[in-house]
Amino acid sequence: MTNERMAGPLLRSVGVPVVSLFLIFGCYCLFIFWEQEGIAKQLYSWEPVMTIDYEIKKIGQPDWPTDKSSESSEEFEKWVKELGTMQNAMHSSKYNEYTISISYQYEYQGYAGDGNTLSPFYELNTQALQDPQLHRYLLRVDHPPLTVYVDPDRPARSALVRGWAQGDRWGSLVLGGVLLPLSLALLYVLVRPVGKVEELFK
C-alpha cells in the first residue's frame, strides 16, 4: 500500500472525531444563543413596577468578635450569622469577587411579592452577579428608585434585570454560525464516498 493510500484512512480516523467535536460545539453555541433569546423574549413581556422597599448591600468578611470569653455570647452568634450570610452570597455568585445581599418587595395588581435574586433564571442571575458595573449601580448610596419586572402570568416571579449582555449572546451566535457550516463541510470532505471509489482503480 502506498503512502498516499495509507494517508487517506489515517486522516479520516483522526479528522472525523476532531471535526465532530467542532460540530457539536457549534451546535451547543447556537443552542445557548436561542436559549438566551427565549429568556430575553420572555422577560421583555414582563411588566415593570416600582419597588415598595428594598435593601441591597455588599457583604464582606465579618470581623472576629472581640468578646472571646464565651462562644455562646451574643457577639459571637452575630458573627456566625454574618459569616453564614457571606458564604451563601459567595456560593450564589460563584466566581464573582463581589458578594451582595438582595431583598425587595413589590405589589402587582393586588399581589404582594418579594424577591432575593437578580433573576429567577439561574443562568441570567449568575451572569448578572458577575457584573461589577451593575453592582456599583445597585450599591449606590443615594438609594435610587428600583424597578422590578414582574411576570404578568405568574406574579410571584420577578427580576431586577431584564436582559443579557449583548456580547455574550451574539458571540455565541457568531461562533456557532461559523463552526457549524465549516464543520459540516470538513466532515463531508473527510467521509465523502468519491475518494473511496477512486481508490479502487489505483
DSSP string, 131-196: -HHHHHHHT-TT----EEEE-SS-TT-EES--S--HHHHHHHHHHHHHHHHHHHHHHHHHH-HHHH
Chain segment 48-89, per-residue pLDDT in tens: 999 988 888 776 654 555 555 555 566 666 656 666 665 565
Write the CB contacts of 177 (distance below 8 Å, at least 6 apart in sequence).
26, 30
What is the residue-averaged pLDDT of the chain?
Answer: 75
Q: 135, 127, 119, 136: which is closest to 167 by C-alpha?
A: 127
Chain segment 87-140, per-residue pLDDT in tens: 565 555 444 445 778 889 999 998 999 998 888 888 888 888 877 788 788 888
Helix or strand (DSSP H, E) at 55: strand 53-58
Single pTM value for the model: 0.60
Asked whether residue 166 carries a pLDDT value surpassing 70, the answer given is no
